Amino acid sequence: MTRQYRITLLPGDGIGPEILTVTVDILKLIGTQLDIDFQFQEALIGGSAIDETGEPLPDQTLKMCRNSDAVLLAAIGGYKWDNLPREKRPETGLLAIRAGLNLFANLRPATILPQLIDASSLKPDIVRGVDIMVVRELTGGIYFGEPKGIFETETGEKRGVNTMAYTESEIDRIAKVAFETAQKRTGKLCSVDKANVLDVSQLWRDRVTLMAEQYPDVELSHLYVDNAAMQLVREPLQFDTIVTGNLFGDILSDAAAMLTGSIGMLPSASLGLEKPGLFEPVHGSAPDIAGQDKANPLAQVLSAAMMLRYGLNEAKAATKLEKAVLEALAQGYRTGDIMSQGMKSVGCKAMGEVLLRILES
């Protein structure tokens, strides 16, 4: 029987529209092959939304997202909007959609593909076999804690304030996602905090430790965030699943991403308790190469695979898509960011065509 899904597409800014176009063509093909009827609807977010409506996340966009089975986002931001006040910046749109859809769990896999091992800035012996899943809390912590703002003190001096805060329930729900994720992987979970200094981290550690009793099959460890950053580049193979708060997760997921050599390869999933989840590449909008057909669409394609797997429960389609990406790499096709000697250099569109050909064969 045909399965029907309504997908909201958010192309955003920079290379966003290019990589999303390639991905949608691929999804359409997979849909016909596996009897899935995708109904796509497009909405505005980020800089392009600011230009058209004055808001980085128009109400209409949030409504359309809520009314869909999954949201596929490309990328937001660009030089043009960098100097606007914070509430009018593209990034604010991203934070607002995370909060608006209650997407508290952000899954960021960092997997070394054998085909791309030379792309890493670390020695092949250190990164071979790296397969890490960062589970980042996404709607709490210092990104959203109150009070926040720039205030004037009694002496007339300005004081900038943000607050890192987590409630027990916020910690518990992300910890649950992390334990379940670890269970499906190798059963190793490392919780990262700064409990030697921060009270909020002490509570984090206490709650995660308490929850471990319910998951006797998961081996839990704890690291302070500074040590975790060091260990990630020293001996990344020690990690399987990492769970951490919003800010630490922001930083560590970039570091983990770079182990793989190109951030242009990495997808992510942001999930709440209910549909829709939001799926987006970890990389940004790359305004320097926008519109030149140079972008690597693979992180977007792999984000669509995560959408199929985690958002729509279409594991078969997800696997098919992931295999096609590996096959394109095995056949030697590379965009500029992952190009190496002897490989076949292609642009964004051509990479898409390679994938379509592989899927059809």
Residues at the annotated binding site for Mg(2+)?
226, 250, 254
Catalytic site residue from 28, 254, 320, 323: 254
Specify the residue, 21 or 270, whose C-beta has the smaller distance to Mg ion: 270
**Least separation in angstroms between CB 119 and ligand IPM:** 21
Catalytic site residue from 35, 51, 199, 226: 226
Distances (CA, A) of 262 to 58, 246, 257, 282, 299: 32, 22, 7, 10, 10
> By CB neighbour count within 10 A (0-12 exposed, 13-18 middle, 19+ buried), where does 220 fall?
buried
Distances (CA, A) of 270 to 30, 169, 280, 282, 354: 23, 18, 8, 11, 28
| 25 a catalytic residue | no
Catalytic site residue from 5, 13, 69, 143: 143
> Which residue of the chain is nearest ligand IPM when measured via CB?
91
| 118 a catalytic residue | no
Catalytic site residue from 69, 194, 215, 337: 194
**Least separation in angstroms between CB 170 and ligand IPM:** 16
> Which residue of the chain is nearest Mg ion when measured via CB?
250
Specify the residue, 129 or 149, whose C-beta has the smaller distance to ligand IPM: 149
**Least separation in angstroms between CB 41 and ligand IPM:** 23
Specify which residues 191 forms β-bridges with: 222, 243
Specify the residue, 17 or 56, whose C-beta has the smaller distance to ligand IPM: 56
Using alpha carbons only, give the angle 137, 141, 144 rounded to the nearest 5 degrees. Answer: 110
Element (H, E) at 131: strand 131-137
CA dihedral angle for residue 36, residue 110, residue 277, residue 13, rounded to 10 degrees: -90
| 35 a catalytic residue | no
Using CA of residue 13, residue 9, residue 102, residue 190, what is the dihedral sign?
negative
18 touches which of ligand IPM, Mg ion, none (CB within 5 to 8 A by kind)? Answer: none
Residue ranges at the known binding site for NAD(+): 78-91, 284-296
Are the CB atoms for 95 and 77 separated by under 8 Å?
no
Q: Is residue 55 part of the contact set for Mg ion (CB under 5 A)?
A: no
**Least separation in angstroms between CB 98 and Mg ion:** 12
Quote the CA–CA distance of 151 and 81 in Å, as a whole number.
Answer: 24
**Least separation in angstroms between CB 89 and Mg ion:** 14
Are the CB atoms for 186 and 240 separated by under 8 Å?
yes
Specify the residue, 193 or 250, whose C-beta has the smaller distance to Mg ion: 250
Number of residues in contact with Mg ion, rule: CB under 5 A? 1
Are the CB atoms for 34 and 5 separated by under 8 Å?
no
Quote the CA–CA distance of 165 and 52 in Å, as a whole number.
Answer: 35
| 194 a catalytic residue | yes
**Least separation in angstroms between CB 66 and ligand IPM:** 21
Residue ranges at the known binding site: 78-91, 98, 108, 136, 226, 250, 254, 284-296
193 touches which of ligand IPM, Mg ion, none (CB within 5 to 8 A by kind)? Answer: none
Residue ranges at the known binding site for substrate: 98, 108, 136, 226
The footprint of Mg ion on residues 7-26 (CB under 5 A) is none
Are the CB atoms for 266 and 157 separated by under 8 Å?
no
| Binder among 18, 137, 170, 250 for Mg ion (CB under 5 A) | 250
Specify the residue, 34 or 99, whose C-beta has the smaller distance to ligand IPM: 99
91 touches which of Mg ion, ligand IPM, none (CB within 5 to 8 A by kind)? Answer: ligand IPM
Quote the CA–CA distance of 352 and 113 in Å, as a whole number.
Answer: 19
Query: What secondary structure does DSSP assign to 156-223, as a single string?
Result: S-EEEE------HHHHHHHHHHHHHHHHHTTSEEEEEE-TTT-HHHHHHHHHHHHHHTT-TTSEEEEE
| 250 a catalytic residue | yes
Catalytic site residue from 13, 240, 250, 337: 250
Using CA of residue 97, residue 101, residue 102, residue 104, what is the dihedral sign?
negative
Positions touching ligand IPM (CB under 6 A) are 91, 94-95, 250
Specify the residue, 55 or 250, whose C-beta has the smaller distance to Mg ion: 250
Q: Which of the residues are catalytic?
A: 143, 194, 226, 250, 254
Instruction: Give residues in contact with Mg ion (CB under 5 A).
Output: 250
